[in-house]
């Protein structure tokens, strides 16, 4: 049976599915931008929040996408190319309608979406400001779509596994219609029960066309007295890079809230690719990941995906990443996994051999499951007489899995002596969303690496840890603020939590970075664009508000960017730059880089207001 016929039959077997719809889904996905940020409140609020992106024409507004959060926190929205505005409100009565008495907030300026990638740090503060100042009429309703009840996409939402949104049918929708799925159900890391700091989280990641219900046997066999179950549910038809970046955003926000000390990750099929991409791009920020176990993952890609990309009239976005000779697969093992992660590889071989298909587990070939670089990184490799589906419920698999969990827990249970730090900090200046502080601890002892931790505004007054024992120079870096004092020496030891006080004073700042050169097809909605690895600035000039400053990038070993920011010094190094201590006003930024056309953009700088985060795209000289 040809791949095109197979595609058509599978598609027509799904309600409302057609090749025309698939084609439109792919076009929409590759011409959209994901907007992410955090919702905070001026007064305590423990009720749901609705956040929306909308387009405005005169007095009329059109809701483009909205999300429901069970509490304030992180959000994600997907929008087409164009100009959009952001609005959020606290839904005190759960009617999904903005009522006059409810706290609300807007992002201060329109967002220009380019039709690709991610725009971050779009934070909103909910206050009791008069409704007529917000731009969204009282009574505007945000329906829950096809869902029976609003479905929270806030990281850490408690899930009921039998909910239809977690069903096999819904998982298939996430494969064949990723845009539709993301708009209706989003993507999230869910809990089965409230967070418990005494138990280690295990995050489960399903594969293509999969759902959380695929993991029932694992959920039933996990020792709940020692571990807590989390699962990542996402539209598996979306690009792998995009879903890896979404996983980073979810775990980042969970770490901010719960400060877990370790997490184990188990992934099936394509989910293994999502996890590895996440670990390659962001693993350095997550030393808490101690175990990564992949099951039946196509490490070598899938030839049928390559055939489909070349010949099918409708292409699922994730097929591009599954091509054996494609950019994603070719770069998947260009770098090793971060240190400190125990990696185990499970594969199945009950698929036999056919004239048209090499030996497989019925879905993924053995050659792909056992790609040489994957084997080389694995601590151990285990094969099972199971097919691609039965491997998730095999008693032999469960027994081996339990043995590995026990072994990893023993190896990672005892660490270096550690203590904590109690940080007290306050923001001066105007009201608005508070940027996230970054704690930087530089050891006084030579030869030890610095410790960096992202903090939330709620961390003020809390104990932060565990932190390896030692003597450090502690500083806090906050976008659009300067910190007093700039540094404090602290001694951290077992059972000790010294207190340190910092004050954040508003300052004008403009910082950014140049993103790597990527083809449009490799940078769809939600995809991570890494910093440019080789760009060479000739100069970076900022003009406005009576200021004219020019940066010439410093060389290797000529200082530290974070330290210079805290010290109140402008800086440029590699693909990064930052200007600080700027007066309020409008500025023109000009970048000259070797091999690229000059780049010019205008920015409004307001002390105490942190800006949107998106990589700068330079145009190569032709």
Q: What is the pLDDT of residue 197?
A: 94
Q: What is the pLDDT of residue 559?
A: 65
Structure tokens at 223: 């020792």
Token pair 């919702």: residue: 39
Q: What is the pLDDT of residue 141?
A: 84
Q: Name the packing angle between helices 178-185 and 19-29 (round to 10°).
A: 70
Residue 486: how many CB atoms within 10 A of its CB? Answer: 15
In the predicted model, what is the mean pLDDT of residues 494-520?
A: 90
Q: What is the pLDDT of residue 144?
A: 52
Residue 22 domain-assigned? Answer: no
Residue 476: how many CB atoms within 10 A of its CB? Answer: 23
In the predicted model, what is the mean pLDDT of residues 393-418?
A: 85
Residue 386 domain-assigned? Answer: yes
Q: How far is it between the farthest Cα atoms of the chain?
A: 74
- CATH code, 39: 2.60.40.1120
In the predicted model, what is the mean pLDDT of residues 569-578?
A: 93
Residues 6+ apart with CB under 8 A from 310: none
Distances (CA, A) of 122 to 416, 513, 559: 38, 17, 30
Chain-centre distance for alpha carbon 569:
30
What band does 206 get if pLDDT is binned at 50, 70 and 90?
very high
What band does 466 get if pLDDT is binned at 50, 70 and 90?
confident
Of residues 343 and 458, more confidence is placed in 343
- The verdict on 458 and 334 lying in the same domain is no
Residue 430 domain-assigned? Answer: yes
Q: What is the pLDDT of residue 17?
A: 52
What confidence tens digit (pLDDT) does each residue in 110-137 have? 999 999 999 999 999 999 877 767 778 8
pLDDT beyond 70 at 416: no
Q: What is the pLDDT of residue 605?
A: 95
Residue 621 domain-assigned? Answer: no
Nearest-angstrom CA–CA distance, 357 and 488 = 64
pLDDT beyond 90 at 467: no
Write out the E strands in 323-397: 342-348, 380-384
- The verdict on 211 and 88 lying in the same domain is no
- CATH code, 401: 3.40.50.1820
pLDDT beyond 80 at 66: yes
Structure tokens at 584: 């309020």
Residue 612 domain-assigned? Answer: no
Q: What is the pLDDT of residue 539?
A: 94
- CATH code, 527: 2.60.40
What band does 480 get if pLDDT is binned at 50, 70 and 90?
very high
In the predicted model, what is the mean pLDDT of residues 204-225?
A: 96
pLDDT beyond 90 at 138: no
What band does 146 get if pLDDT is binned at 50, 70 and 90?
very low
DSSP 586-622: EEEEEEEETTB--EEEEEEE-TT----B--B-PPBP-
Of residues 64 and 414, more confidence is placed in 64
Residue 11 domain-assigned? Answer: no
Where a domain ends, among 413, 444, 475?
Answer: 413
CA 336, 337, 342, 343 torsion: positive or negative? negative
In the predicted model, what is the mean pLDDT of residues 389-396?
A: 97
In the predicted model, what is the mean pLDDT of residues 407-421?
A: 76
- The verdict on 490 and 546 lying in the same domain is no
Of residues 519 and 320, more confidence is placed in 320
Lowest mean pLDDT among 173-187, 242-256, 377-391, 423-437: 423-437
In contact, 609 and 108? CB cutoff 8 Å: yes
- The verdict on 522 and 486 lying in the same domain is no
3-state SS class at 570 = coil
pLDDT beyond 80 at 431: no
Q: Which domain holds residue 496?
A: 418-506
- The verdict on 398 and 479 lying in the same domain is no
Maximum mean pLDDT: which of 273-277, 361-365, 523-527: 273-277
In the predicted model, what is the mean pLDDT of residues 297-325?
A: 89
Element (DSSP H or E) covering residue 281: helix 270-282
Peptide bond into 135 cis (omega under 30): no
What confidence tens digit (pLDDT) does each residue in 354-381 have? 545 677 898 999 999 999 999 999 999 9
Q: What is the pLDDT of residue 561?
A: 80
Residues 6+ apart with CB under 8 A from 495: 419
For residue 483, which of 407, 581, 572, 401 has the smallest C-alpha distance? 581
On the 0-12 / 13-18 / 19+ scale of CB atoms within 10 A, 186 is buried
- What order of strands is seen across the sheet that includes strand 488-492? 451-454, 438-443, 470-477, 488-492
Q: What is the pLDDT of residue 451?
A: 87
Nearest-angstrom CA–CA distance, 43 and 4 = 56
Number of H helices, E strands in the chain: 14, 31
In contact, 86 and 75? CB cutoff 8 Å: no
Q: What is the pLDDT of residue 268?
A: 98
- The verdict on 320 and 204 lying in the same domain is yes
Q: pTM, whole model, 2 decimals?
A: 0.93
pLDDT beyond 60 at 14: no
Token pair 């423990």: residue: 46
In contact, 205 and 244? CB cutoff 8 Å: no
pLDDT beyond 80 at 28: yes
The percent of residues above 70 in pLDDT, for the chain, comes to 93
DSSP 433-473: PPPPPEEEEEESSTTPPPEEEE--GGGTTSEEEEEESEEEE
Residue 160 sits at φ, ψ, to 5 deg, of -110, 110
281-293 as b/e: b if 16+ CB within 10 A: bbbebbebbbbbb
- The verdict on 466 and 524 lying in the same domain is no
Mean confidence (pLDDT) of the chain: 89
What band does 399 get if pLDDT is binned at 50, 70 and 90?
very high
pLDDT beyond 80 at 484: yes
Where a domain ends, among 484, 506, 528?
Answer: 506
What confidence tens digit (pLDDT) does each residue in 532-546 have? 999 999 999 999 999
In the predicted model, what is the mean pLDDT of residues 494-507?
A: 89
**Residues paired with residue 297 on neighbouring β-strands, in sequence order:** none
Residue 615 domain-assigned? Answer: no
Token pair 């940078």: residue: 523
In the predicted model, what is the mean pLDDT of residues 513-520?
A: 88
Q: What's the number of domains the chain is made of?
A: 4
- The verdict on 449 and 379 lying in the same domain is no
- CATH code, 422: 2.60.40.10
For residue 417, which of 473, 495, 497 has the smallest C-alpha distance? 495
- The verdict on 470 and 585 lying in the same domain is no
Residue 301 domain-assigned? Answer: yes
Q: Based on C-alpha coordinates, what's the Rg of the chain? A: 25
What band does 8 get if pLDDT is binned at 50, 70 and 90?
very low
What band does 450 get if pLDDT is binned at 50, 70 and 90?
confident
Q: What is the pLDDT of residue 2?
A: 36
- The verdict on 128 and 56 lying in the same domain is yes
Where a domain ends, among 479, 506, 533?
Answer: 506
Q: What is the pLDDT of residue 87?
A: 94
- The verdict on 587 and 491 lying in the same domain is no
- The verdict on 492 and 482 lying in the same domain is yes
Write out the E strands in 315-417: 342-348, 380-384
């Amino acid at each position: 049976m040809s791949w095109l016929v197979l595609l058509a039959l599978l598609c027509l077997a799904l309600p409302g599915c057609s090749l025309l719809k698939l084609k439109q889904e792919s076009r929409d996905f590759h011409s959209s931008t994901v907007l992410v940020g955090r919702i905070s409140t001026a007064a305590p609020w423990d009720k749901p929040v609705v956040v929306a992106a909308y387009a405005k024409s005169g007095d009329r507004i059109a809701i483009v996408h909205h999300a429901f959060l069970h509490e304030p926190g992180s959000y994600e929205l997907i929008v087409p190319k164009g100009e959009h505005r952001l609005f959020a409100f606290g839904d005190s009565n759960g009617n999904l309608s903005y009522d006059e008495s409810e706290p609300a907030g807007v992002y201060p300026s329109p967002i220009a979406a380019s039709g690709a990638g991610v725009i971050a740090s779009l934070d909103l503060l909910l206050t009791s400001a008069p409704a007529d100042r917000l731009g969204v009429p009282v009574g505007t309703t945000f329906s829950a779509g096809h869902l029976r009840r609003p479905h929270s996409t806030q990281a850490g939402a408690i899930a009921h596994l039998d909910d239809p949104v977690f069903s096999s049918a819904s998982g298939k929708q996430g494969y064949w219609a990723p845009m539709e799925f993301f708009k209706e159900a989003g993507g999230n890391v869910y809990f089965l029960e409230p967070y418990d700091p005494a138990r280690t989280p295990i995050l489960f990641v399903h594969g293509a066309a999969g759902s959380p219900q695929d993991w029932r046997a694992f959920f039933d066999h996990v020792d709940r007295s020692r571990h807590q179950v989390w699962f990542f549910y996402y539209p598996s038809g979306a690009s792998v890079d995009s879903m890896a970046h979404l996983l980073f955003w979810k775990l980042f926000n969970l770490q901010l809230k719960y400060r877990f000390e370790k997490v184990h990750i188990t992934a099936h099929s394509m989910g293994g690719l999502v996890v590895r991409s996440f670990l390659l791009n962001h693993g350095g920020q997550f030393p808490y990941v101690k175990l990564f176990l992949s099951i039946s993952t196509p490490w070598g890609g899938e030839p049928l995906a390559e055939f489909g990309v070349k010949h099918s009239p409708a292409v699922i976005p994730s097929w591009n990443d599954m091509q054996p000779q494609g950019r994603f697969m070719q770069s998947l093992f260009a770098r090793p996994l971060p240190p400190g992660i125990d990696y185990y590889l499970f594969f199945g071989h009950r698929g036999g051999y056919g004239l048209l298909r090499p030996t497989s587990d019925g879905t993924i070939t053995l050659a792909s499951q056992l790609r040489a670089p994957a084997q080389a990184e694995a601590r151990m490799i285990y094969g099972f007489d199971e097919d691609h589906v039965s491997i998730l419920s095999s008693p032999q698999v469960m027994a081996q899995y339990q043995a590995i969990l026990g072994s990893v827990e023993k190896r990672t249970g005892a660490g270096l002596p550690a203590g904590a730090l109690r940080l007290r900090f306050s923001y001066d200046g105007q009201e608005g969303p508070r940027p996230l502080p970054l704690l930087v601890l530089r050891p006084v002892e030579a030869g030890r690496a610095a410790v960096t931790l992202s903090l939330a505004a709620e961390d003020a007054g809390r104990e932060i840890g565990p932190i390896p024992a030692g003597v450090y120079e502690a500083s806090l870096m906050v976008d659009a603020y300067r910190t007093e004092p700039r540094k404090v020496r602290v001694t951290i030891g077992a059972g000790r939590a010294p207190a340190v006080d910092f004050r954040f004073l508003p300052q004008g700042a403009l910082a950014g970075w140049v993103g790597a050169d990527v083809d449009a097809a490799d940078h769809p909605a939600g995809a991570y664009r890494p910093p440019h690895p080789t760009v060479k600035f000739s100069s970076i000039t900022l003009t406005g508000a009576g200021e004219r400053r020019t940066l010439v990038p410093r060389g290797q070993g000529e200082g530290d960017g974070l330290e210079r920011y805290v010290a109140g010094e402008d800086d440029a190094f590699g693909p990064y730059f930052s200007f600080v201590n700027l007066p309020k006003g409008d500025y023109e930024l000009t970048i000259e880089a070797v091999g690229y056309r000059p780049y010019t953009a205008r920015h409004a700088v307001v002390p105490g207001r942190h800006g949107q985060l998106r990589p700068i795209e330079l145009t190569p000289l032709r």
